[in-house]
């Protein structure tokens, strides 16, 4: 009788212990995930406060005087886009941004900044800047994006392959070959990359709408942010 | 048997600490790449391959204490430790960067964070792997006694 009791007693003692250990693991997991989520939340809030402060105090980090813009000067909503001509997602976003501008005629100004993160893609930025001198920036960008799958397939930009597609933008090719080596262009690319670094741009495209970063990456988030800014400013 | 109960308890605790370090490192590494958007370089990816499974393998050993978990976890931890060591040697310039495998894409020697001059990301990784390896070896010796 006594023995039986002892065995019975032992079992319930052991069980709660293993239960307790499993609970320690589970509770720690939950705690770790909560800390992670809180950390992510605080980091994002702090980052966007920092950026909105910079947009007020240091607007030139977002728009340099040489920066290429599209849209009315009276527009109150600025979309600053850091992009790479060799980046596929930038190509996919391009028509979307143009539609956004068309839908809100005169209210949006687009600023293009360069973030040529793909190795060798600064070559294509130089072509774009040279085309800009001929007043054909947007046509050239269009031609580049349309043929991007050929000259930049598998994220491996091949400079020689672009030239066959440039005539469709109506460019003076000889002039481009001369102008693209202008040291001024190289300086601007350097400045854009430095600003991208200051603004923590690590992927392209990266958008800032009146200095505010996208809460999450995606078409809908961009659209939402632009619409909020339009409502707030008009 | 209070004595053996105590040893099994501390064995469990050692394993638990290993798991905790692996979990914190995993979440930390995900925080750097997903929240702060630091692109992981090739060597970081190799270390992650060794680190991430440790979280799951060790937690399986914890749920109903299974000592064979040491045998499965140690190879991963040791492999991760060697890659972390190599990464740190590159990072500090003891091995010249020209012979390293990641010349394309993200550089393995880029300085993303640097707390107090020593706590770089590769150093954090080396510290985690070292602690896990040492603890697992301790556990192995205790279990074979």
Could you read off the pLDDT of B35-72 as tens digits, one per residue?
Answer: 887 778 888 999 999 999 999 999 999 988 888 999 99
Residue B26 has pLDDT above 90, yes or no: yes
A25 with A134, same domain: the answer is no
Can you give the CATH number for the domain in which A215 is found?
3.40.30.10
Q: Which residues contact A223 (CB under 8 A, 6 or more apart)?
A: A100
Helix/strand number for chain B, H first, E second: 4, 2
| Cβ separation A24–B16 shorter than 8 A | yes
Print the domain residue range for A101.
62-233
pLDDT of residue B100: 44
Number of domains present in the structure of chain A? 2
User: Each residue of A74-91: b (16+ CB within 10 Å) or e?
Assistant: ebebbbbbbbbbbbeebb
Residue A148 has pLDDT above 60, yes or no: yes
Give B-chain residues touching A118 at CB under 8 angstroms.
none
A75 with A191, same domain: the answer is yes
Residue A131 has pLDDT above 70, yes or no: yes
Single out the residue in A21, A37, A57 at which a domain terminates: A57
- B110 pLDDT band (50/70/90 cuts)? low
pLDDT of residue B97: 62
Two tokens, residue A191: 């400045």
A71 with A49, same domain: the answer is no
Closest CA to A25 of B101, B22, B48: B22
| Cβ separation A18–B30 shorter than 8 A | no
- B104 pLDDT band (50/70/90 cuts)? very low
Single out the residue in A57, A75, A90 at which a domain terminates: A57
Residue A204 or B71, more confident: B71
Confirm if A204 and A81 have CB atoms less than 8 A apart. Answer: no
pLDDT of residue A134: 87
Give B-chain residues touching A28 at CB under 8 angstroms.
20, 23
Sorted by where each begins, the domain ranges of chain B are 2-144
A123 with A32, same domain: the answer is no
Q: Which tens digits make up the pLDDT trace of A178-202?
A: 888 888 898 999 999 998 888 888 8
A124 with A26, same domain: the answer is no
Long-range contacts of B2-5 (CB under 8 A, 24+ apart): none
pLDDT of residue B126: 95
Q: Per CATH, which fold does B2-144 belong to? A: Bromodomain-like (1.20.1550)
Strand partners, B88: none
Closest CA to B125 of B69, B93, B82, B68: B82
∠ CA(B23), CA(B28), CA(B32), 5° rounding?
Answer: 150
Torsion of CA B87, B90, B92, B98, to 10 degrees: -160
> Mutation test of the interface with chain B: which of A6, A20, A25, choosing the one with the most B Cβ atoms within 10 A?
A25
Torsion of CA B100, A88, A114, A147, to 10 degrees: 110
Quick one: residue A200, left, alpha or beta (phi over 0 = left, psi -120 to 50 = alpha)?
left
């Amino acid at each position: 009788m006594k023995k039986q009791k002892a065995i019975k007693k032992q079992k319930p003692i052991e069980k709660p212990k293993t239960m307790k250990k499993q609970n320690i693991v589970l509770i720690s997991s939950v705690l770790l995930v909560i800390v992670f989520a809180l950390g992510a939340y605080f980091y994002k809030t702090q980052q966007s406060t920092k950026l909105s402060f910079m947009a007020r105090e240091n607007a030139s980090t977002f728009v340099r005087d040489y920066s290429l813009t599209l849209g009315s000067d009276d527009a109150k909503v600025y979309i600053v886009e850091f992009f790479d001509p060799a980046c596929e997602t930038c190509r996919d976003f391009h028509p979307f941004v143009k539609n956004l501008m068309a839908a809100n005629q005169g209210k949006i100004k687009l600023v293009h900044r360069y973030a040529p993160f793909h190795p060798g893609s600064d070559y294509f930025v130089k072509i774009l800047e040279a085309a800009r001198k001929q007043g054909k920036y947007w046509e050239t960008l269009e031609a580049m994006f349309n043929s991007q799958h050929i000259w930049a397939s598998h994220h491996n930009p091949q400079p020689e392959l672009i030239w066959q597609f440039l005539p469709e933008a109506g460019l003076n090719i000889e002039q481009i070959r001369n102008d693209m080596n202008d040291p001024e262009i190289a300086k601007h690319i350097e400045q854009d990359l430095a600003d991208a670094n200051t603004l923590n741009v690590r992927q392209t495209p990266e958008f800032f709408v009146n200095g505010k970063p996208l809460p999450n990456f995606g078409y809908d988030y961009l659209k939402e942010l632009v619409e909020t800014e339009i409502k707030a400013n008009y | 048997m209070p004595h053996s109960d105590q040893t099994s308890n501390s064995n469990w605790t050692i394993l638990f600490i290993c798991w905790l370090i692996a979990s914190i490192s995993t979440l930390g590494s995900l925080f750097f790449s997903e929240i702060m958007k630091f692109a992981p370089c090739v060597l970081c990816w190799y270390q992650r391959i060794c680190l991430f499974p440790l979280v799951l393998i060790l937690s399986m050993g914890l749920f109903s204490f299974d000592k064979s978990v040491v045998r499965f976890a140690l190879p991963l931890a040791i492999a991760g430790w060697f890659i972390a060591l190599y990464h740190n040697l590159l990072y500090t310039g003891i091995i010249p960067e020209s012979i390293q495998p990641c010349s394309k894409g993200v550089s393995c020697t880029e300085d993303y964070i640097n707390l107090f001059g020593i706590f770089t990301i590769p150093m954090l990784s080396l510290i985690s792997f070292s602690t896990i390896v040492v603890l697992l070896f301790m556990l192995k010796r205790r279990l074979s006694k």
